[in-house]
């Protein structure tokens, strides 16, 4: 068993190395700007579950299917181990989804840390991006650390003079999310999602308001269709369609060695705004727009002749400002009904000079 202090030091060193080396490239995840993200293990559970930023969270209609992410081949991947240089010891490592489960055939990040006699921080001595690597090491005491997506496992190993095999257990599974509007698939680049630990349904409001999250999401800003590997457990996905308020939450269960394909069903539509002098007329450029709820909550601000925004199903007010005029139009959004909203200049209010 590893001591708590040793594990803490190891985790710190491993995470530092991972963030600098882009070690999770095999997950196929890219951040919002296309850059490699910085990953960390799921945070420790707290007594207060996390809450998404929306003031009025929407319940999700979701479906999910699970399939094995690995074959059931139980053959020893290290039935043959190549010879290493004289004076070195071969350490052959592999990982399973469970103690009696299938070997994980996908490439993962392996790091080997040498323990110091004085009890100082372990020293990183070897690294590999492979499913079943073999390390040639000096005799001594080591800590082997394996990272598979956001899941990881560590083990202390003592090498003497004989070849050694070690198999770590990483209870992890895959998650892939796509979105639908009716029966139409949302383009992956227009869907993004964050993942939190625990169940969204267990959050519960406080005095009629959603609780604020005291911890960050396990993963932020993944795109639709991205494959993410997570430690087995319960999570909820916060899915956002477009750049407006079309946001819903759905619980998912990650099982070891299985891929969960989750589909979230958004109820939203894309709305294009136009300020015109007559119905069907040319849109007026340099118009400042605001989209607000009947209660006055700001949803989106923009400037242009015909800006577009994805809005959740409901009622809204479009406010247009051009030169010294302010115009507004109430409209409703129905799921899947993309359309244009025209605001007529004849409905604009002109400031009364007497009020100045």
Domain boundaries, the chain: 268-355
Mean pLDDT along residues 228-240: 94
Sheet of strand 247-254, all strands in order from the earlier edge strand to the far edge = 219-223, 191-197, 233-241, 247-254
pLDDT-derived band at 295, boundaries 50, 70, 90: very high
pLDDT at 2: 46
Alpha-carbon span 127 to 354, nearest angstrom = 76
pLDDT at 67: 67
Q: Among 63-67, 298-302, 328-332, which is the least confidently predicted range?
A: 63-67
Averaged confidence pLDDT in the chain: 79
With beta carbons less than 8 A apart as the criterion, state whether 294 and 319 touch. Answer: no
Mean pLDDT along residues 184-191: 94
Q: Domain 268-355, what fold?
A: Immunoglobulin-like (2.60.40)
Q: Among 52-61, 235-244, 286-295, 330-339, which is the least confidently predicted range?
A: 52-61
Sheet of strand 268-276, all strands in order from the earlier edge strand to the far edge = 308-312, 268-276, 339-344
Q: Which has more confidence, 48 or 315?
A: 315
pLDDT at residue 73 greater than cutoff 60: no
Q: Which has more confidence, 186 or 202?
A: 186
pLDDT at 12: 40
248-264 per-position pLDDT tens digit: 999 999 999 899 999 99
Question: Structure pTM?
Answer: 0.71
pLDDT-derived band at 66, boundaries 50, 70, 90: low
pLDDT at 117: 86
Q: Which has more confidence, 209 or 87?
A: 87
Mean pLDDT along residues 320-328: 91
Alpha-carbon span 157 to 39, nearest angstrom = 26
* Nearest partner of 219 among 9, 32, 13, judged by Cα: 32
How large is the greatest C-alpha to C-alpha distance in the chain, in angstroms?
A: 96
Mean pLDDT along residues 327-340: 95
Question: Exposure pattern of 185-219 as b/e (b: 16+ CB <10 Å)?
Answer: ebeeebbbbbbbbbebeebeeeeeebeebebebbb
213-230 per-position pLDDT tens digit: 556 789 999 999 999 999
Residues 6+ apart with CB under 8 A from 206: none
Mean pLDDT along residues 45-60: 36
Alpha-carbon span 315 to 330, nearest angstrom = 7
Residue 90 DSSP class? E
pLDDT at 46: 30
pLDDT at residue 5 greater than cutoff 60: no
With beta carbons less than 8 A apart as the criterion, state whether 142 and 91 touch. Answer: yes
pLDDT at residue 88 greater than cutoff 60: yes
pLDDT-derived band at 120, boundaries 50, 70, 90: confident
H/E element, 134? strand 134-137
pLDDT at 35: 27
How far, in whole angstroms, is CA 67 from its chain's centroid? 20
């Amino acid at each position: 068993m590893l001591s708590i202090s040793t594990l803490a030091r190891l985790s710190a060193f491993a995470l530092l190395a991972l963030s600098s080396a882009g070690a999770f490239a095999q997950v196929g995840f890219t951040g919002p700007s296309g850059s490699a993200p910085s990953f960390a293990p799921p945070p420790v559970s707290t007594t207060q579950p996390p809450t998404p930023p929306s003031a009025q969270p929407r319940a999700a209609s979701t479906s999910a299917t699970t399939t094995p992410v690995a074959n059931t081949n139980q053959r020893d991947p290290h039935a043959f181990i190549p010879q290493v240089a004289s004076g070195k010891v071969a350490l052959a490592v592999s990982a399973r989804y469970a103690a009696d489960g299938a070997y994980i055939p996908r490439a993962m990040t392996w790091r080997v840390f040498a323990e110091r006699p004085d009890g100082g921080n372990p020293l990183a001595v070897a690294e590999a991006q492979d499913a079943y690597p073999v390390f040639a090491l000096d005799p001594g005491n080591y800590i082997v650390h394996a990272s598979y997506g956001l899941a990881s496992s560590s083990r202390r190993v003592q090498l003497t003079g004989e070849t050694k095999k070690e198999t770590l257990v990483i209870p992890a599974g895959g998650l892939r999310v796509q979105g639908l509007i009716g029966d139409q698939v949302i383009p992956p680049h227009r869907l993004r999602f964050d993942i939190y630990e625990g169940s969204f349904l267990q959050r519960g409001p406080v005095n009629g308001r959603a609780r604020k999250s005291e911890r960050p999401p396990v993963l932020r800003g993944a795109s639709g269709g991205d494959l993410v590997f997570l430690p087995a457990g319960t999570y909820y996905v916060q899915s956002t369609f477009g750049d407006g308020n079309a946001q819903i939450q759905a619980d998912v269960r990650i099982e070891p060695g299985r891929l969960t394909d989750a589909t979230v069903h958004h109820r939203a539509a894309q709305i294009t705004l136009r300020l015109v002098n007559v119905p069907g007329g040319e849109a007026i450029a340099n118009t400042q727009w605001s989209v607000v709820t009947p209660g006055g909550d700001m949803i989106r601000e923009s400037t242009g002749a015909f800006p577009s925004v994805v809005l959740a199903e409901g009622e809204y007010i479009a406010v247009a400002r051009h030169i010294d005029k302010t115009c507004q139009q109430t409209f409703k959004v129905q799921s899947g009904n993309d359309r244009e909203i025209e605001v007529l200049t004849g409905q604009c209010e002109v400031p009364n000079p007497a009020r100045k």
